[in-house]
Structure 1
């Protein structure tokens, strides 16, 4: 009656006839059940949460909606607008022609770097579990090879045993070189004894700038990060293999502390004495991974026979 457009005799506001006795229509601010999905009244429109057809705005409708930085009207997430966000490295979508991978995270050490490039030896980023190092250059003779491996130098304990008369440090070095050469180890002539007298010791005699790995003759890693790691008082594995890869349980002559310096005067008269029982030499232990590997805090008469530690030193 009167100015009513309809009157359905109920108080349901969301059917075809609203409670103001007007015909339901898109834009009246009331969601007409079964006909409309949304209705924000005057706020309906292109790019709004509810469009002019009383349908929710959605990614891919070609209209820039709330929370969207772009909407190119397609469902292609490999172009410059992916999931209605401007394509960028790290969004989890590989932007065709711009990126070669995109794993959607900020982890730079997995198989897709933070530059959205596949991890590769030489990119300057260490690929976890795949590379030992990556210095981003093509120099094969520095601390990281062109295969992204750390250089390796061998350390072993001799099969042969010697009295304290080694012919001095030079004689001990010669024994190490001979042992390495007998089994055709690379750079056999560079091997030196891990041995100290009163005025000279490994920290003086060896390459302290080396940053690669020290390994046993079977490749087992003893120290991973060069001289500093070898001399920090904690090894990853005992130095217990000989040049022939035989397990050795012994106390090698050393007179050397874990830091590569001399223990003191326990050096068999600079490793030239074997006759006088009262003259002693200090030794290490092939069973130890702590400082005792080189300094077992014991001495023995120089008449005794013990092996030597030998270390590659290019």
Structure 2
């Protein structure tokens, strides 16, 4: 299933995607499933009883014409989890070619990570498909992009093994880990440079775990104004999803609706010669095979 969150009047609602028609989307509104009718985002769906999700799958498999669908404008899409209950967990330096391109640019040699390296992005960073990445030149003029596969947790997990950890996955989505490179370098930790408002585009929806047999064989790409910048495969992750979830869960409970971004491949703007940072008027488009496309304009913030 592809599950999405959309704006319906004053309230966010959840739906299953039936067809992507470009500027419009054909959906099945989850208010028709009593046990799911009050869900406000995909994080809440991830925590729903298994029987309710099974009922949804059965309804979606109904014969043609038996499903009551509706159409919404693509502009109504929200991030699958517009305001996560907790910070988005992120893994840094998880594609070694990305590490090498940064080392080459800075004239250093970073040791190969022996353990996953974590940082987080606060809930205020999240925007959905079509939402603007807002930049403030007085804060940073070195804004970069990073396409990443993200995992949505579906069941609470603590002290998991690498072999059992992926059983906790509800589904997958796309994240653009937008980064202020100057702030990232200025502070010893990456939180500030990664945590500015609107710096976590997420979406366009969540694809449930059962639809992606191997999350380590997905192509991922990113374009800026139609110019291909990043193109790689999740096969090149240094730490695989089971390792990441297991490591993060040691002594720390991961909860339904938690989101984990799993790192970016090479091709980022700061590593280019000369560096190519984002500017107002740009459009950044991320795509991951089997999931979809996430596109966001860049604009100046005006308070």
With the shorter chain as reference, the TM-score category is: under 0.3
Higher relative contact order (CA 8 A, sep 6+): 2
Structure having the higher Rg = 1
Q: Which has the higher helix share?
A: 2
Query: Which structure shows the bigger proportion of residues in strand conformation?
Result: 2
